[in-house]
Amino acid sequence: MIKKLSYFKGSESWINDSSESPAWIEAMKKEPSVGMGSISNMLDSESYIAMQNSISHRTKIKAFLYRGHTVLSLIKGNKLEILTPGGVAPDNLVKISFTMKNMLKDMSKNEINSGLSGTFISQSIDSHLDNDTSRSMVVKGYFGKGMYMSQTPSLNIKEDFKSRYDQKSERVIAFYRIKPSANIITPEDPQFSQVKRNMNKDFFNHFIKSTGVDGVFDKENGVIAIFNEKAIKYVSSSPESRVEREIKNIALSNYLQS
């Protein structure tokens, strides 16, 4: 169970004294500010109420990944407040191991915890793209032109992506994580109708940038269309055959334990 974010009570002294604070600040600076609405489901009830009562229009909220965990910084002038899972000190957060097995186990749960923040997603790509800096394939799909990712690796391999490309091509599965600052909407969101009207227009790329929408999540099929590559972070990739074997091993292990 992922812990909700709480205020770390030693924020000021940690920022001033910890040798890790420069890394925290550097990670924080790389991400855009987010609104209260996009982080409300990340917070425990006490922190949510406290934040509502203390922030102003001048407060900058930064959501980002630190040691693999979703964290927050509140910038109030020269003051910095930190929120972490369970309110622990940032240097006490256990670094998350991004092994393929751990990622696949997380994805096999088919759950969205605390919104989409930190969710692992994947895409089947040609092996030669694995050395490309973008490490992702842009195609025109149901939600318009974007990087189509799957939240369920079995769908990625057997049903969706494989049917789109030449079966003779050697393929790899590239894994990514959704950044906490990403603005991913669903068909139920008010913004979706406006996005849908323009999905097949030539100016869609320019339009989508103006809306601030980074992607669309199709809950029913577990597919996410990413329009802004900065909304996701590349983790690693593995040959498709190896991923398939690991999925079967996980399924067998789950069956034996049931």
For residues 157-186, one letter each, b for 16 or more C-beta atoms within 10 angstroms of the residue's C-beta and e for the rest, the string is beebbeeeeeeeeebbbbbbbbbbbbbbbe
Q: What is the pTM of this model?
A: 0.79
| Angle in degrees, CA 232, 236, 239, rounded to 5 | 125
78-90 pLDDT per residue, tens = 999 999 999 999 9
Share of the chain above pLDDT 90, in %: 36
At residue 6 the predicted structure's pLDDT band, cuts being 50, 70 and 90, is: very high
For residues 86 and 154, give the distance between their C-alpha atoms in angstroms, rounded to a whole number. Answer: 32
- Judged by phi (left if over 0) then psi (alpha if -120 to 50, else beta), residue 212 lies in left
Q: Does domain 100-257 have CATH number 3.90.228?
A: yes
Residue 28: the pLDDT is: 94
For residues 91 and 126, give the distance between their C-alpha atoms in angstroms, rounded to a whole number. Answer: 38
For residues 148 and 161, give the distance between their C-alpha atoms in angstroms, rounded to a whole number. Answer: 9
Outline where 95-220 has alpha helix (H).
100-108, 153-155, 192-197, 204-211
| Angle in degrees, CA 37, 41, 45, rounded to 5 | 105
Write out the DSSP string of 11-46: HHHHHHH-TTHHHHHHHHHTS-EE-HHHHGGGB-HH
For residues 68 and 98, give the distance between their C-alpha atoms in angstroms, rounded to a whole number. Answer: 8
Residue linked to tokens 């910095």? 80
At residue 156 the predicted structure's pLDDT band, cuts being 50, 70 and 90, is: very low
Domain boundaries, the chain: 5-92, 100-257
Residue linked to tokens 């600076």? 29
